[in-house]
């Protein structure tokens, strides 16, 4: 079951973070909350699939390496079912081949770990602004 981080926000403005590492998920959540952005959290891909159908977000952040469906599998699913939904793929296991695959599958942005939180927040804000137009 997912973690509900902001029950008062409109779902359409929410960012969903899908990250199996609790500490990393909390770090990303806290960075977005500090910017006033509503966040929902999911620890795995199965939880994301359920939530997407119930509560469509404004943006999805996917970790590449997770148990069950990995971030690339989820990226393909999300972009097939919700082609207008922006998706950021984050990974510590990247490189040019992974970046190319992420782009081919429809990632709106790709960020390799480690990364600065300012860079992450900027990417989220830019994608939210672009999708609101």
Give the integer Cα–Cα distance in Å for 69 and 83.
Answer: 19
Q: What domains lie within the chain, and their CATH numbers?
A: 9-132 (3.40.50.2300)
**Is-cis flag, bond preceding 114, omega within 30?**
yes
pLDDT digits (tens, 9 = 90+) for 78-104: 999 999 999 999 999 889 999 999 999
Q: Please give the model's pTM, rounded to 2 decimal places.
A: 0.90
Whether the pLDDT of residue 9 is over 60: the answer is no
Dump strand ranges (E) for the chain.
3-4, 15-18, 39-42, 59-63, 87-91, 109-112
């Amino acid at each position: 079951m997912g973690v509900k981080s902001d029950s008062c926000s409109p779902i359409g403005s929410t960012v969903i973070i899908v990250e199996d590492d609790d500490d990393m998920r909390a770090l990303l959540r806290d960075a977005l909350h500090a910017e006033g952005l509503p966040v929902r959290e999911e620890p795995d891909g199965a939880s994301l699939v359920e939530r997407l159908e119930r509560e469509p977000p404004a943006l999805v952040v996917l970790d590449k390496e997770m148990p069950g469906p990995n971030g690339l599998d989820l990226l393909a699913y999300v972009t097939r079912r919700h082609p207008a939904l922006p998706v950021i793929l984050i990974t510590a296991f990247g490189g040019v081949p992974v970046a190319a695959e992420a782009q081919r599958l429809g990632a709106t942005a790709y960020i390799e770990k480690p990364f600065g939180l300012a860079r992450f927040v900027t990417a989220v804000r830019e994608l939210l602004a672009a999708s609101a137009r």
